[in-house]
């Protein structure tokens, strides 16, 4: 299973320079400029390495990766073996 706290810590340390002020569960990473396209690749790499799975190209959607809340839902689906494109 995943731990959204660890993911939050990764984002805070790597993209917010340790300042999580204003990072809510539903804060959009892209709209708020927290993560750019390169950052998305770093986040994906972190998730794949941490949880030992692959994120398919068709899963690279804002609905899956653009906030802590979306990431939490996406990872729950991944661990339950359901595609996010159902």
- Asked if the structure places residue 86 within a domain, the reply is no
What does pLDDT average to over the chain?
91
Predicted pLDDT of residue 86: 41
Q: Per-residue pLDDT averaged across 35-40, rounded?
A: 93
Predicted pLDDT of residue 56: 94
> Would you say residue 36 has pLDDT above 70?
yes
Structural domain for 35, as ranges: 4-79
22: domain CATH number is 1.10.1200.10
Question: How far is it, in rounded angstroms, from Cα 70 to Cα 67?
Answer: 5
- Asked if the structure places residue 14 within a domain, the reply is yes
- Asked if the structure places residue 9 within a domain, the reply is yes
- Asked if the structure places residue 18 within a domain, the reply is yes
In total, how many domains does the chain have? 1
Question: How far is it, in rounded angstroms, from Cα 35 to Cα 13?
Answer: 12
Predicted pLDDT of residue 82: 59
> Would you say residue 52 has pLDDT above 80?
yes
Write out pLDDT tens, residues 58-73.
Answer: 999 999 999 999 999 9
């Amino acid at each position: 299973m995943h731990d959204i706290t660890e993911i939050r810590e990764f984002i805070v340390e790597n993209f917010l320079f340790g300042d999580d002020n204003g990072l809510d569960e539903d804060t959009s990473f892209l709209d708020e400029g927290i993560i750019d396209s390169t950052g998305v690749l770093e986040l994906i790499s972190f998730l794949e390495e941490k949880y030992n799975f692959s994120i398919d190209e068709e899963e690279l959607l804002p609905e899956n990766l653009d906030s802590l809340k979306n990431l939490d839902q996406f990872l729950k689906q991944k661990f339950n073996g359901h595609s996010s494109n159902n």
